[in-house]
Amino acid sequence: MFRTYSVRIWVLVCFILLARILNPSPVLFTALNQSSVDSAHTIPAGNHEPIRIDSDDDFAEQGWPGNGTEANPYVIASLNITSEIVPISISDTRSHFVIDSCTLVAIRGGNCSLHLRNVSHGKLIDCTIRNAKWGIWLRNGLNFRITGNHIRNCSYGIHMRAINSSLISLNEIVSCNQRIDVIECMSCTFRSNAVYGNMFCFWLSSGLTIKNNAIWNAGIAITDCDRTHIIGNSIFSENHGISIDSSPACVVSDNAMAAFGISLTRPSSSAYSYQITNNTVGGKPIGYFHNISNTFVDCREYGQIVAVGCNNTSFKYGFFQNVHTGILLFLCWNSVVRNITAVSCVRYGIHLLASWRCTIEKNVVRNITKNPPFPGAGIKIQSGHECRLSCNRLYWNTHGIHAASVQESLFTYNAIYNNTRYGIYMYFSYNNHIFGNKIGWNGDENAFQVASNCTWDNGDGLGNHWSDYNGTNSYPIEGYGAGVDRFPRKLSDGTPHMSECVPRIGFSVIIIGVAAVVVIAIVGIELFIRNGYRVK
């Protein structure tokens, strides 16, 4: 009764498996996938009227073969339905049914091509679905099998809400420009799908498995989910990878990403329950360090670093490019990030989150501008306490330094040049000290604060160098909180050389010191001679 899955699907699956072995560039996959998208659209011959089923009895009354049991489900097969209304709509049923090898097309981008509400025990096999806002729309149900379908030219390929114990596998979702939405679902599996341009977005769900999918120009994002397994996926996108937002007990393993890597948003204490292993970005491993102490990490072998709960740990010598964040430290203390270079990252070069007594020094971060709609930064420090940012070079980013909810921290001897918005953006922060920096030619302002009790000099003659300082009086800081540099200096060199980590000792000071040593030595010799003579 059921047709075997089309040769096209099996060829696609073999191609995905071969791709993971060879790990070619994402450009090749994009080109191959785009070439498979047929832009032509034809209305099929022998069009069937739209189908609407509102109860179990409607299956039999409309003459569909089967009796609704698991062994003998109702079958709707091999139909072409092109309609301005929903081609197939089924609601309020508990009978087993199969929709097999149908073509469902919504004319003029109708609401949806397949609408299932308060339905269980349905199978959708080897169908073609096109041209709707929602390709497949499911609400309130369980035990679905959606397998081997081709979904294209829809805003949302699949929308699922309150669906449990279901399998979505071997589908091809192409030219859908929004998302695949999965909301409040439990114990569902998404396996071996090929998706082009549709983000896989999961909200408020539990016990999901997302495995062995191939995704082009999109990624996987989970928000407020728990016990989610993201395993063995291939993601070919410059701006998307795997995003985890406040989702405890996640397992993320054996995924390969062309770029972006992994992002953690609102991790809170849930990050302690993550298991992140054997993932790669740009062909290099993603280093995930959890709850380690007294350790040195050579970052050169990694494509991205994520550190959670680390104490007295040094991260040095890495180069990060085209990832969401080059290096993230969350809930760390007494740790150091030094001699890191981050270039063209999506959001941040270095992100210090909810950490204290950490040091970020002697790093170079540039070209962090791929971050709409929220501004990124070369270095983001958020909810930090008693931290130190020194001797970093930050240029051609959106913000140079973005400090939010930071207190009792030092920002010294950094070179912050040519960032498109703010050199230093200080937000809801207090009791910080900013001096010895070279800050120039930043787009909106060199510095902006919404802060209190932040000092922009050391109180003893050393402020910052500013490209827009007029040479007289003090230098006011734009924003709120009465910030002022009382000892500003004019910055005229447009090259982002960082300041010394400690003030250099002038030549005259050295001469005076040498002279003092000579005088002390002469006096000592004279006293020795006098005392020695008297003893004799």
Q: What pLDDT sits at residue 34?
A: 38
Q: pLDDT tens-digit profile of 21-36?
A: 444 444 333 333 433 3
Which pLDDT band, with edges at 50, 70 and 90, does 505 fall under? very low
Instruction: Quote the mean pLDDT of the chain.
Output: 88
Amino acid sitting at position 217: N
Which pLDDT band, with edges at 50, 70 and 90, does 271 fall under? confident
Pick the CATH number of 44-196 from 2.160.20, 1.10.10, 3.30.70, 1.20.1300: 2.160.20
Q: Which helix (H) or strand (E) holds 22?
A: helix 7-22
Which pLDDT band, with edges at 50, 70 and 90, does 340 fall under? very high
Contact 115, 141 (CB under 8 A): no
Q: pLDDT tens-digit profile of 292-323?
A: 999 999 999 999 999 999 999 999 999 999 99
Q: pLDDT tens-digit profile of 360-386?
A: 999 999 999 876 667 889 999 999 999
DSSP assigned state of 308: E
Which CATH number describes the domain made up of 283-492?
Answer: 2.160.20.10
Q: What pLDDT sits at residue 11?
A: 47
- Percentage of the chain lying above the pLDDT 70 cut: 83
Section 400-424 average pLDDT? 98
- pLDDT above 90 for 524: no
- pLDDT above 70 for 430: yes
Q: pLDDT tens-digit profile of 169-207?
A: 999 999 898 899 999 999 999 999 999 998 999 999 999
- pLDDT above 70 for 416: yes
Closest alpha carbon to 81 in 100, 62, 104, 115: 104
Q: What pLDDT sits at residue 486?
A: 98
Q: What pLDDT sits at residue 32?
A: 36
Chain centroid offset of residue 220 CA: 10
Domains 44-196 and 283-492 share a fold: yes
Domain boundaries, the chain: 44-196, 283-492
Which pLDDT band, with edges at 50, 70 and 90, does 469 fall under? very high
Q: Which residues pair with 408 in a beta bridge?
A: none
Tokens at residue 221, please?
A: 């994002």
Residue 343 zone, left/alpha/beta (φ > 0; ψ -120 to 50; rest)? beta
